[in-house]
Amino acid sequence: MEGLWQGSGVGGASPELSVIVPMHNEEGSVGLLAERIRRVLDAEGITYEVIFVDDGSTDGSVAAVERLARTMAEVRLVRLARNFGKEAAMLAGYDRVCGRAVIVLDADLQQPPELFPEMLARWRSGYDVVHAVRADTAGISRIRRLASSAFYWVNGQLAGVRIPAHAADFGLMDRAVVEVLRQCREQHRFNRALVAWAGFRNTAITYNAAPRHAGRTHWSWGRLVGYAMDGILSFSVRPLRLLGLLGGFVSAMSFAYLTLVAILRIGWPDRAGAGFGYASIIGMISLLGGFQLLGIWLLGEYIGRIYEQSKGRPAYIVREDRAWRADAAESSRPVGHPSRITDAA
Ligand code: UDP
Ligand code: MG
């Protein structure tokens, strides 16, 4: 796996581990999160960087990271030009990591940094991906949990990429895996499925997710449904095949029905068509109309994705990228200089 990447640190001094923290309005958690990361990783004796990707926060998150950087040189701050969503924020992090191992961690303290040593141990023993799988989430409603299980089942049936159930994006990846994720420049990203799709040697550890430390979840039901659809439609054309099967089934039924009508009409001319009146016609027309509209919608979902991909817009826009590490290439830029870099890859 050596040689797949070039570390961007100077003189081989780049950190061994990169922690990516996507954040959107998390000012209340940044300080404590960094404190816990520092405690764990200092005890581990590993060099590291913590990349906070600010995904268009409108609160004091950026100021909180800047305050933190005064006492923590491992911090790097990547500010996106607006809110692009967690998937894009993670990609912005992947595009900038220096470490040989990469951990993605939510900012809200639902995921304990105290798992890092276990993850690193698994990585050192030869695993490329260490999923952290939620055993339980405090403060999540039963219906949400049920919907989550249903999603993993449907996704497994339709998308053909097996994502470990209840594995959030929290986990460790070898740099080689991150390089693969970087090469996938799809507009509708679904990180966990991409990780599963990439393969490599996977293992999982379990943890109990804590309730949010501060702020509130950014996932409305609408957003979750859209995300679930991305998970399926970005990975498979199986729904289109099912549509084909449905079409075949309806055609076969219609053919059988017509044959039956013809036989009745020839064999029993007086009784033919009895009971097949207005209601059945309306029923058939609306049923078929419904199927057709559903089919057009499904095609539209795929075509819309082709349309968006064909525009080739960057997945995110960076308005500022600051590092405080002494060896970081970026620190040569004047601090605070708003470098307007776009996602060029
Ligand atoms: N997040 C982000 N951009 C967004 C929404 C969320 O970067 O548009 C971050 C958020 O700050 C947090 C992580 O993604 O660090 C997970 O979000 P959240 O806690 O709202 O999700 P949940 O834990 O409820 O699934
Ligand atoms: Mg959360």
Give pLDDT tens digits for 304-333: 999 989 998 999 999 998 888 766 655 444
Structure tokens at 300: 């539209």
CA 298 – ligand 1 centroid, Å: 28
Query: Does CATH number 3.90.550.10 belong to domain 10-236+314-331?
Result: yes
Handedness of CA 180, 19, 46, 321 (dihedral sign): positive
Residue 178 amino acid letter:
V
State the Cα–Cα distance between residues 321 and 154, nearest whole angstrom: 39
Distance, in Å, from the CA atom of 105 to the CA atom of 52, rounded to the nearest integer, reads 10
CA 81 to ligand 2 centroid distance, Å = 22
Tell me which H or E stretch contains 18.
strand 17-23
Which percentage of the chain shows pLDDT scores above 70?
Answer: 88
**Closest ligand 1 atom to Cα of 89:** 7
Beta-carbon count within 10 A of 335 CB: 11
Average pLDDT of the chain, as a whole number: 83
- Name the packing angle between helices 221-233 and 278-311 (round to 10°): 80
- The contacts of residue 88 (CB under 8 Å, 6+ apart) are 55, 80, 189, 315, 316
Closest ligand 1 atom to Cα of 53: 7
C-beta atoms surrounding 222 within 10 Å:
8
Residue-wise pLDDT tens digits, 87-111: 999 999 999 998 999 999 999 888 8
Which value, in Å, is the radius of gyration of the alpha carbons in the chain? 26
Beta bridge partners of 21: 52
Residue 342 backbone dihedrals phi, psi, to 5 degrees: -110, 165
- Which-ligand-closest: CA of 52? 1
What DSSP element (H or E) covers 327?
Answer: none
Closest-approaching ligand to the CA atom of 105:
1
Residue 174 confidence (pLDDT):
95
Which residue type sits at 341?
I
Closest by alpha carbon to 21, among 62, 73, 70, 81? 62
What's the rounded Cα separation, in Å, for the pair 147 and 151? 6
Alpha-carbon gap, residue 92 to 85, rounded angstroms = 11
User: Ligand 1: which of 21, 24, 32 to mutate, judged by most atoms within 8 Å of the beta carbon?
Assistant: 24
Segments of the chain with pLDDT less than 70: 1-12, 137-140, 271-276, 326-345
Residue nearest to atom 2 of ligand 1 (CA): 86
Dist. CA 99–CA 200, nearest whole Å: 18
Atom of ligand 1 nearest to the CA of 85: 8
Distance 65 CA to ligand 1 centre (A): 17
Contact 317, 343 (CB under 8 A): yes
List the beta strands (DSSP E) in 248-330.
318-323
Burial class (CB in 10 A: 0-12, 13-18, 19+), 340: exposed
Domain boundaries, the chain: 10-236+314-331, 238-310
Measured from the alpha carbon of residue 220, the closest ligand is 1
Does an H or E element contain 137, and which? strand 129-137
Task: Output the CA 108–ligand 2 centroid distance in Å.
Answer: 5
- Per the structure block, which two tokens stand in for 22? 């996507």
62 backbone dihedrals φ, ψ, rounded to 5°: -65, -45
- Of 50, 86, 136, 220, the residue with max ligand 1 atoms within 8 A of its CB, to mutate for a pocket test, comes to 86
Instruction: Please give the pLDDT value at position 139.
Output: 64
Q: Given ligand 1 and candidates 20, 108, 224, which is best to mutate, with the most ligand atoms within 8 Å of its CB?
A: 108
Closest atom, ligand 1, to C-alpha of 216: 20
- pTM across the whole model: 0.77
Q: How far is the centre of ligand 2, averaged over its atoms, from the C-alpha of 109 (Å)?
A: 7
Q: Which residues of 7-23 are buried (b: 16+ CB within 10 A; e: fewer)?
A: eebeeeebbebbbbbbb
| Structure token digits, residue 296 | 């057009």
**Closest residue by Cα to residue 102 from 40, 22, 19:** 19
Residue nearest to atom 11 of ligand 1 (CA): 23
Measuring from each residue's beta carbon to the nearest atom of ligand 1, which residues come in under 6 Å?
22-24, 26, 55, 83, 85-86, 89, 106-108, 110, 217-219
Partners of 323 in the beta sheet?
76
Q: Is 166 left (phi over 0), alpha (psi -120 to 50) or beta?
A: left
